[in-house]
Structure formats: C-alpha cells, structure tokens
Amino acid sequence: MKNYDVVIVGLGPTGGTLANLIAFGGFSVLILEREKSFYPLPRAVHFDDEVMRVFQTIGIANDFLKHTIINKGTKFVNSKGKIILDWPRPRKLTENGWYPSYRFNQPDLERQLRKKLKKYKKVQIKQNTEVQTIHNVKDNVKILFKNILDKKNHEVQAKYVIGCDGANSITRKQIGTKMDNLGFTQKWAVVDLILKNKNKKLPDRTIQYSNPKQPATYCRNVGKRRRWEFAIKNNINEKKILSEKYIWNFLKPWLKKNEAYLERKTIYTFESAISRKWRKGRIFISGDAAHLMPPFMGQGMCAGIRDASNLAWKIAKCLKNEHDEKLLDTYQSERFSNVKEYIETTMRMGEFVNAVESIQITDNITSSTDGLKSMKSIKPKLGAGLGEKNDKYRGKIFPQFKLKNGKNLDDKFSKKPILILSSKIKKKIPSRINFIKSLNAVGLNEYLKKYNLKAIIIRPDRFVLASTKFDKKINYLLKKNFSVLG
C-alpha cells in the first residue's frame, strides 16, 4: 500500500491552495479529483487582499495578477434607481500589502494552482477518481477510491486526509457529521456573458438591485466578462428561466441579444450552513465541505482559502515533529467563529438585496451629510485557539511590511513563526540567541511603538499568536523555536 504525508480530496481553489501550501514544506501529497479536468467555465469571481497574500505565499500572485482586475466596490440600488448603500473598495494597498478586492475568472486561478503543483516532485494528482471510504487507523488514515474509467479500486494510506470536496462532500459524510442551516435558502439564476464590444457602457462596479419584485446582482468581471444573477420565485418553471428568450428579456435594460455571447447559465440554491464537526481524528474538511454562504459578499471561496491557510501550517508542524491533538483542535475553533461572522453578514446582505432595507448588515455603516450610507468591509478575528484569550492582538492579521531592500515581509519569512522585537529589547538579547540583527522593515518600529509592544509573535499564516508589553515575558518567548527579528 502506497503511503503519503497528506491526501487531499478535491482540486478546486481550496484543495489546490492547500496542496501548494503543504507541498511547499517538502511533504508528499496525493490529490484525488473526481473530474477528468478542471471545469472551464466561470464560477467564483471575487477574492480579497487576505487571500492574495496566501497566493503570494505559494508563489502565484505575480503571474495570477495579470488575470485579475481591481474591484471598485458595490452599490445597492432600490427599485427607483436610488443608491441606498455604498460599499466602496478604495484603490489603496491594505495592511496585507494588496488591494482590498479583486475580480477574476476561476479557471485562470485553477490553471495557476495546477501549474505550480507540477513543480513539486512529491505531488501526485489522480483525476477520474471517486472516494469510497476514509477511516482512521491508529496513526494513519486509509482511503479507498475507485477509478471511474476502469472501475478498479485502489487503497492508499496517509498521515492526514483533508476533504475539499464541496457541498456534497463524501469526506464530511465519512466523518459522520451534518451541516446546520443558518436560515438563508433561496434559488437564483446565474448568467455569465462575454461582451462583443468592449466599449459597451455598463457599470464599472458591482450593483445590487434591492427590489422585492426582482432582486438581482450585476458583476463587472475580468475583460469582457459580465455576470447577472437574479432571484427565482417558487412558482416559475426553472426550464423556462434558463431559456434564451427569458434570459434576454431579463437583460433588456442593459443589453441587446447581439451585444454579447451567453457563456454560462445555471441555477443555484444560495444557502447558509456550517458543519458541526470539521475533524475526526486525522480526517478534516475545508471550504464548501465545511461551510456554505450566499455570494453577496464574494466570500465563499475566500473562506475556503482561509481554512487552507490555517490548517496547512499546523499539519506541517505535526508532520515535522509529531502529531499534536491540541494544535489540530484549534483549526475548527479558530475558523468556525470567523467564517460564521462572514456567513451571518452575507445573510443580512442577502436580506438587504431582497429589499428589507431596515436590515443592519454590519456595525461598519456610516451616513454622510447628504444621507448616503456607506459600508466598510469586516475583518473578523480568529476564534479561540492558540494564544491567550486576554491578549487583544492575538488572532488579528499582522501587516505585511515592506523591507528596505524592496521585498515584502512574506517573501523572506513564510514557513516558520517569527518573533519580532522592539529596538530597545533586542539590545538585551543573550548572545546564545540566533538573532537576525535587523529586519529593516519600513514602519515596523512605528507599529510596535503605536501599540506599546515590546515583542510580537507572528504565525506562518500571518496572524498574531502573542504580544507583550512586558520585559519579563521576553525570556519565555525566546525559548520557543522562532526566527528572531527586530
């Protein structure tokens, strides 16, 4: 029986990102994918700065950037055409070192992820495979899968298995857990088009049409691609809705039939749900296998990639050292509340689009003197897990500082936790410590001074593990296996 460090079920954006993060550490990875090749049509169309930082870590950001556009934000418009809420995304780099919001075409991302995976000798991809059973056996996991083409069964063994296999996850069923519905279920039609004329004047931002008769969404996507989504009433025949006659009639206010090609048309049930358990022994679930949310914030794929970023370094640590139950327990505890806040905010946004305008989407809404309401993006902390609960910086994103040599922090340090010391403290470092004398990061000392921090520990996924304002705690932190910076 062949052995691997990790088996990943599913090669969508979550599985592809997770595989790259684990392969980056030099581990052997087997990916089992049901489809014979990646799906060539659009699906996810948005990601944010936090996710781009993960793409930077695995080394695809610069190449992938060519296939993206910066998203300018979203406007909510009522049935009379009046703007009732603005959600701008300023063209300004965030603390993560990237722009707040990007638009993309999912096949372009999947090509980049697979191209990168081909560079790792210890990564193997098996397509046309259907997982039959997954079960824990002592210090390993056994996976039985079938080749769809020749119907032959195969069994392999791994230290860990992660199911990134979508809403109908076989891995979740093997864990023996269920999804809890959080209260939003609605059918929507999704129509993707490619404009024939790039000069066709359409909104350059996402528009949410808050209309009780016909809630709808328009998305400005990459190049000539545009998307419309609209809610479906229960008494309307789905086959009729997907007919070209119905679609072009719906699109009349914006487009004529001779102005664009229909690339894709489908019906989705937008759901809000979260799995009760994300782990059983050495078996895990991530992405849509663990949680589902409507698309109104464009955070569905982002949430899966955050799962991958959180779990990958913890599994890598267990593979290098030894299995650590407590460390792996923090995967669900940290991710659960974070993704739940995104889901609940998205649900409220969905109600707003359905023209329930009294809904307060988030607490980050302000009103200008002319009465226009404006919304800011949410950035939830990690849930309880690693670190001390009373440390108010623990679980927050640590900024990606620019180094004076022109590189970014993540380009230099991306595999291990790092301990960053203030300029005053580093003078007291014992000579036995392997200290990198100067990080030369622009704005780092100012950041530490602003929050009166003597030291701060950053995890490999770029969240703060611990911080301290006291000298006494420094010696304890120095005993840990970190790269020590100042």
Q: What is the pLDDT of residue 422?
A: 79
In a domain, residue 44? The reply is yes
188, β-bridge pairs? 231, 268
Residue 48 has pLDDT above 70, yes or no: yes
From 329, 356, 383, the end of a domain falls on: 356
**Within this chain, do residues 35 and 104 fall inside the same structural domain, yes or no?**
yes
Which pLDDT band holds residue 376 (cuts at 50, 70, 90)? confident
Q: What is the pLDDT of residues 54-72, one digit of tens each?
A: 999 999 999 999 999 999 9
Which pLDDT band holds residue 435 (cuts at 50, 70, 90)? very low
Instruction: Report yes or no: 293 and 342 within 8 Å, Cβ to Cβ.
Output: yes
A 10 A CB-CB count for 324 gives 13
**Within this chain, do residues 120 and 23 fall inside the same structural domain, yes or no?**
yes
In a domain, residue 61? The reply is yes
Structural domain that includes position 449? 409-485
Q: Quick one: average pLDDT of 104-120?
A: 97
From 356, 372, 388, the end of a domain falls on: 356
Q: What is the pLDDT of residues 229-265, one digit of tens each?
A: 999 987 788 899 999 999 999 999 999 999 999 999 9
Sheet harboring 179-195: ordered strands across? Answer: 291-292, 260-275, 179-195, 225-231, 216-220, 206-210, 73-78, 83-88, 373-375, 365-367
Q: What is the pLDDT of residue 54?
A: 97
Q: Quick one: average pLDDT of 209-217?
A: 90
Say what percent of the chain tops pLDDT 90. Answer: 69
| Total of domains in the chain | 2
**Within this chain, do residues 305 and 416 fall inside the same structural domain, yes or no?**
no
Average pLDDT, the chain: 90
**Within this chain, do residues 352 and 453 fall inside the same structural domain, yes or no?**
no
Q: What is the pLDDT of residue 389?
A: 87
In a domain, residue 367? The reply is no
**Within this chain, do residues 125 and 52 fall inside the same structural domain, yes or no?**
yes
Q: What is the pLDDT of residue 439?
A: 62
Among candidates 250, 342, 340, 334, which has minimal Cα distance to 46? Answer: 342
Which pLDDT band holds residue 37 (cuts at 50, 70, 90)? confident
In a domain, residue 210? The reply is no
In a domain, residue 324? The reply is yes
- Number of residues assigned to the chain: 486
- Find the distance separating the first CA and the last CA of the chain, reported in whole Å: 48
**Within this chain, do residues 416 and 338 fall inside the same structural domain, yes or no?**
no
What is d(CA 196, CA 160) in angstroms, rounded to the nearest whole number? 48
Give me the torsion for CA of 320, 134, 28, 274, rounded to 10°. -70
DSSP label of 110: H
Q: What is the pLDDT of residues 396-434, one digit of tens each?
A: 999 998 887 778 888 877 777 888 887 777 666 655 444
